[in-house]
Amino acid sequence: MLWYKSWLDTRWRFLIGLALLMLAAAGAVFTYPKVLQLMPMVPTDVGGELGRRVREAAQLSREYRGYIWSQWFRQTPTQLGTLFAVLLGSGGLFGHGSGDGALFTLSLPVSRSQIVSTRAAAGLGELFALAIVPSLLLPLLSPAVGESYGIGSALVHSLCLFAAGAVFFSLALLLSTVFDDVWRPLLITCALAVIVSLCESFAGAIGRYGIFAVMNGETYFRTGQLPWTGLLAVAGISAALLYGATRRVESQDF
């Protein structure tokens, strides 16, 4: 019953996110031949940070593996994946907006911790599918443009995306135990994600150790090594946030 309710609360967010990410992954693959054609037109005399980013993107895109990381893992799933992680975590815990819905959920023969843990497990399962399924299209579709991409690399990057995205999901879920609507957890978590992203962008080399650097798997792309420290850190943060959500629900007087 709890699993089914969690699915009903989040199914459209999940399905829309999955469809958008799969379309974006397919688009990234089939755009590559056009990118190669446009490569000679990339300006090389632009100065400043913008010029550096343009030259870096052009250099990465000369190789298919670099193109996929630069245009896919560093951008689309990081942005859309974060948004849908927040959407999956926001609201739906006790039927917010309906007192009868909250009373019905609390009247079920289960503990409050089971309600939260089931909601969290269902949402994390959906987030895992959002991280894995679109990225697996890359090795499947790459031969269509005369290229190849390893399934192992797709899975590793997907793991990084899921682990870091779980932090934003867990924060949104925690905030959903504080506020009685969907929008405040959603907006607060998205605002924090934007602030963190901007801070990492202007942090220089230090930014490579931030949560979004873990999410896009930059360490694995550049060195072939998993960012174990970052993965363990984001896993610990997610666990702490989910524990906080459970404790808050247990202590609430409904």
CA dihedral sign, ordered 167, 120, 84, 24: positive
| Residue where the block lists tokens 């550049």 | 222
pLDDT in tens, the chain (254 residues): 677 778 878 889 999 999 999 999 999 999 999 888 776 665 555 555 555 566 666 777 788 999 999 889 988 888 888 999 999 999 766 554 444 445 455 555 567 778 888 889 999 999 999 999 999 999 999 999 999 999 999 999 999 999 999 999 999 999 998 888 888 999 999 999 999 988 887 776 666 778 998 999 989 998 989 989 999 999 999 999 999 999 888 776 55
Task: Bin 98: left if φ > 0, else alpha if -120 < ψ < 50, else beta.
Answer: beta
Pairwise CA distance, residues 70 & 64, whole Å:
10
Query: Tokens at residue 113, please?
Result: 């911790």
Closest CA to 148 of 247, 32, 8: 32
Q: What is the DSSP letter of 182?
A: S
- pTM (2 d.p.): 0.87
